[in-house]
Structures are given as C-alpha cells and as structure tokens.
Amino acid sequence: MLPVAVVFAGTPLTAAGIVLAAVVLLTRYAYPIASLAIGAALGVAASFAPGPALLVLPWPVSVLLAYTAGRQVRDTRRAGAALATAGLVQIVASLAALLGQDRFTPAGAAVEFLAIALAAGLPGVTGMFHGQRDRTVEALHERNRLLERANLLGESRARMRERARIAGEMHDLLGHRLSLIVLHAGALEVRTRQSAPEVSEQADLLRVTSRTALDELRAVLGILRLDGSAAPDGTDSGVGTRVDVTRLVGESRDAGVPISLSWAGDDLAEADPGVRRAVHRIVREALANVHKHAPGATTTVTVTAGPDRVGLEVRNDLRPPAVPVPGSGLGLTGLRERVRLAGGTLTAGADTDADVFLVGVTLPRHPGPAAPDPTIDRVALEDRQMPGAAPGTEAGCSPEAARRSTPPMSKTTTKVALVAAGAGVVLCGGLGLGVYHLFQRTITAQTYQDIRPGDPQDQVRELTGGDTMVAREAVEGHGPDVPGGATCDHVLAAGFESVYRFCFTDGTLLRKDTIAVP
C-alpha cells in the first residue's frame, strides 16, 4: 500500500518515504505511468519493511496516483494494464508479507485486497472514465469550431455568388444601354457629317467614349458573370412584374404544388429594375425550397406593392419530404445578401404554432444605401426546413450554443459508470465491514483480569478471539521480551490505549502483559 505520511516511525525510511511520495505526487501529471510504478514500489517496500508500519492507510496518495494515471493516459488499454499491474503487485506483496511474518488470516487478507482495490482500482476506473469524457468533449469542441468556420465560409461564398450575379446583371443591362448609345452616336455622326461637321465631331467623340466605356465595363464586370454563355435571370424588362411572378407560380402549380397568388397594388412594371429582379429571385428561390423540402405543401405567395415599399411573403405548410434531400442550406443566405444590397429586410423561419414556414421580405420602391454587411455580426441564416433542423429553432443556431451543451452519455458509457459505481459501493462496504470486524475484536479490562496464567489456550482464545494483526503491529518492537519457546496472541484493549499480550507454551497460558500503544 502506498505511504502517505509516517511509514516507518523512528527510522530514516520515514523521511525517504515522505520525500519520494511528494515527488511522485508532483510529477504524476507529466509522468503518470512512472509515478504509479514508483508508488507501487513504495507500497511493496512498506509491506516487507520491519517496524511499526501500523494503521497509516495511504488513501490520498494511492487515490491521486491511480486517478491521474487513468485520466492522463489516452490509451485506455495501456492505462488499464498499468493500473492492474500496480494493484496486483501490491496485493501479492501484501499477502507475501503476511505469510512471511506468520500473520496471515483470511480476514486480514480480505481487508488488504479490498483496501488496495478501493485505493487503486476504483479511482483508476473513475479517472479513465473522466479522461475519456474530457477527450470526447474536446473533440466535439474542435468539431464545432471547424463547423463554425465552414459555415462562415459557406455564407461568405453564397454572398459573393449573389454579388457576382448582381454584377453580371449590371454588366448586361449597362452593356445593352451603352451599346444603344454607341449605335445612336454613330448614326448621328453619319447624318451630320455633311450638314453639321461640328455636331458630327461631337457625335463621333460621344461614340468613341461610349465604346471605350463599354469595353472597360466588359473588362471589369464580365469576369463576374456566373455563366458566360447566357445572361443571368432577371435582365429583361418584364422580370419581377405581376406577369413574371404569375408565370413562376404557374410553373410550381404544374409541378404538383397547390399554390395560390395574391397581388395587391400595381404590377411593378415601373419599379426600379433592381427591386423587380429581387422579387423574381426571392419568389423563385422560395418556391425551389418548397419543391425540395416540403413537396406538395399548400403554398401562398402574397405581393403587396405600395407607393414606397414592396412586401413579399411566401408561406407553406411544414411537410418534411419522404426522402431527405441534401442541400447546402445557403439559398436564403444569398437572398438575404440581395435584399440587403437593395436596402430591404428578410426574415425566414418556421412558425410552429401555425405549422408553417414563412419567408417575408420588405423592399424599398426606390433602393437607398445598403444595410451593414452581416459578416460583421456573423449572422448565420440557413434553410430550417432542411432535415435535421429542430422545429421552432432560430435560423442559424451558432456553434457556441452547441458547444455549451453537454453531450449526453451513450448507453455503453452509462452502463460502465453504473458498474463502476456499484463496484465502488461493494468495495467500500466490504472494506468497512472488515475494518469494523478488526476493531471490534477487543476485550475489556475485566475480561483481562479474569484470565489467569495456567488457563488452557483454547479457553483463553475463546474469550479474546485470538491474535489480531492490528494489535500485533501496534506494539511491534515494544513491551517485554517474549519468553523463549512461547507464542503470543495480541488483542486490543477496549479503549485502544493498550494491547493485551497472552503468551502460551504447551497449550497453556504462561504470561500476560499490558503494553501501551506508542
């Protein structure tokens, strides 16, 4: 058993044991296996060393070394082997010491076994459990950090794609207008070349300048086009009008979605082109989400065209698909970026009370400055209709919230914890009963007085209960010398202040002594 304080009172080994125990305690985190081995060696030395190595039960050091080894060693098999080896070595050493000193009793052996198992085995298993759990939580934290970074990168990519889409649309629209200016300026130059040379020169300058501007526009914005072979959606004059939205709704209806359109106000034909393109993109993306994540759900599209603002709402019943559909969850992030650049606001999420999913947008009729970039506050918006999204959760559940939640224990881990707890209760109970049994084997002063020299050995042992290891070790090296050829039993006095020694020869009591416990 591992020493905690005075191991061999009155000898130089006392200081050595204390110093070595302090060293292994200080180095147990850096060298858990080595510290455990040194502690086991100290326990073996304490078992065989002479002197009063009495009731100093080394619980603190033993518990700390075993717990630290179980928790710090990442390889559970290596930790288990080290703990089992250390415990087995100490058990064998303790039993060998009892046999060598002729002090072996079943009760004493049981107490030694339970004490070592409780001081080394149970803390070691507990440390292994806690270490495994800490490493699991650490891995989950690292996974959440990676997911957070991937989420932010995905959002940034979605915003950049939407900006590139808008730049491509601007390239096509401005390119078309500048091409018309070049054509008209060229025609004006030809028509005025003879009749008005000065006007012809100005028209030629206008044509050349417009051509230069068109070339520069294509050079700067042309590379942002998402599709070099076709213009992005939303570049024609009818996009985002009532006719265009009705066409989108009709396509969804033809695909089997029970959908209706409610339009209030003018048809947006005279609205800003950016607003109309935003209306087109929002309706198209929202209906695409319905087809993907809630096929066959009843859907309502509502457009309110006011004098200053345009309101748009797409509402559908919550209906998960029969087969989960994979998706990036970033479609609404791109819409939010377009709405932000147009000076509007977007909200999206599930209304569990009404059992619907709602996408609501408000756009200014005449766009002003864009709202601040959401990357500053790192807002995460995702399609919460996607499989795995908890009903009623806010869009963009942050990884910090997931990191704060403690992962539940698996069934296997729970069973291991219950078994370890049960084993600890059994070991503690057995050790307590053993210690209680040893300390209950005491006799009163009156019983001691009633026993007289010459009494039969069997009669004396019937009254005293026989020799006890605890009493023998308490006064080892103290008291009168043992008579030659005699064997002695040691029994604790009722108050534990002294030990009664009974020495026998030829089956009769030769002598009895009272020895004070030092």
Higher pLDDT, 392 or 501: 501
Domains and CATH numbers, the chain: 13-141+416-426 (no CATH), 233-391 (3.30.565.10), 443-516 (3.30.1450.10)
Using a pLDDT cut of 70, give the percent of the chain over it.
67
Q: Would you say residue 498 has pLDDT above 80?
A: yes
- pLDDT for the residue numbered 438: 56
- pLDDT for the residue numbered 104: 65
Cα distance between residue 227 and residue 74, in whole Å: 52
The gap between the terminal CA atoms of the chain, to the nearest Å, is 22
- pLDDT for the residue numbered 215: 72
Strands of the sheet with 345-351, listed across from one edge: 259-265, 299-305, 309-317, 356-364, 345-351
- pLDDT for the residue numbered 425: 60
Q: Are 384 and 366 spatial neighbours (Cβ–Cβ below 8 Å)?
A: no
268 Cβ contact list (under 8 Å, min separation 6): 240, 241, 242, 275, 276, 279, 305, 310
Cα distance between residue 112 and residue 92, in whole Å: 10
- pLDDT for the residue numbered 261: 94
| Residue whose C-alpha is closest to residue 362's, from 348, 340, 379, 346 | 346
- pLDDT for the residue numbered 120: 74
Averaged confidence pLDDT in the chain: 74
Q: What is the pLDDT of residues 300-315, one digit of tens each?
A: 999 999 988 999 999 9
Cα distance between residue 303 and residue 134, in whole Å: 53
- pLDDT for the residue numbered 298: 92
CA distances in angstroms from 355 to 164, 302, 313, 315, 316, listed in the order given: 35, 18, 16, 10, 9
Virtual torsion, Cα 323, 327, 333, 336, nearest 10 deg: -40
Cα distance between residue 139 and residue 34, in whole Å: 27
Residue 69 confidence class, pLDDT cut points 50, 70, 90: confident
Q: Would you say residue 397 has pLDDT above 50?
A: no
Contacts of the segment 322-329: beta carbons below 8 A, 24+ positions apart = 324/387, 324/388, 325/292, 325/293, 325/386, 325/387, 327/292, 327/293, 327/383, 327/386, 328/154, 328/158, 329/154, 329/382, 329/383, 329/386
Q: What is the pLDDT of residues 182-212, one digit of tens each?
A: 777 777 878 888 888 888 888 888 878 877 8
Higher pLDDT, 453 or 38: 453
Q: What is the DSSP letter of 223?
A: G
Higher pLDDT, 433 or 167: 167
Higher pLDDT, 451 or 62: 451
Residue 403 confidence class, pLDDT cut points 50, 70, 90: very low
3-state class (DSSP) for residue 466: coil
| Residue whose C-alpha is closest to residue 508's, from 483, 477, 480 | 483
Cα distance between residue 384 and residue 362, in whole Å: 20
Label residue 32 exposed, middle or buried (CB < 10 Å: 0-12, 13-18, 19+).
Answer: buried
Q: Would you say residue 143 has pLDDT above 80?
A: yes
Question: Can you tell me which residue has the tokens 């030829």?
Answer: 506
Question: Can you tell me which residue has the tokens 């020895």?
Answer: 515
Q: Are 494 and 485 spatial neighbours (Cβ–Cβ below 8 Å)?
A: no
Q: Would you say residue 434 has pLDDT above 90?
A: no
The region of weakest confidence among 14-18, 426-430, 464-468 is: 426-430
Q: Would you say residue 55 has pLDDT above 80?
A: no
Joined tokens for residue 343: 């000076």
Q: Are 443 and 494 spatial neighbours (Cβ–Cβ below 8 Å)?
A: yes
Q: Are 276 and 239 spatial neighbours (Cβ–Cβ below 8 Å)?
A: yes
Element (H, E) at 347: strand 345-351
- pLDDT for the residue numbered 13: 59
Label residue 417 exposed, middle or buried (CB < 10 Å: 0-12, 13-18, 19+).
Answer: middle
Residue 1 confidence class, pLDDT cut points 50, 70, 90: very low
- Provide Rg for the chain, Cα atoms: 44
Joined tokens for residue 355: 């059992």
Average pLDDT (15-44) is 78
Q: Are 9 and 473 spatial neighbours (Cβ–Cβ below 8 Å)?
A: no
Higher pLDDT, 149 or 167: 149
| Residue whose C-alpha is closest to residue 109's, from 500, 423, 422, 431 | 431
CA angle, residues 475, 478, 484, in degrees to nearest 5: 105
Higher pLDDT, 420 or 81: 81
Cα distance between residue 230 and residue 237, in whole Å: 16
Q: What are 488's strand-pairing partners?
A: 503
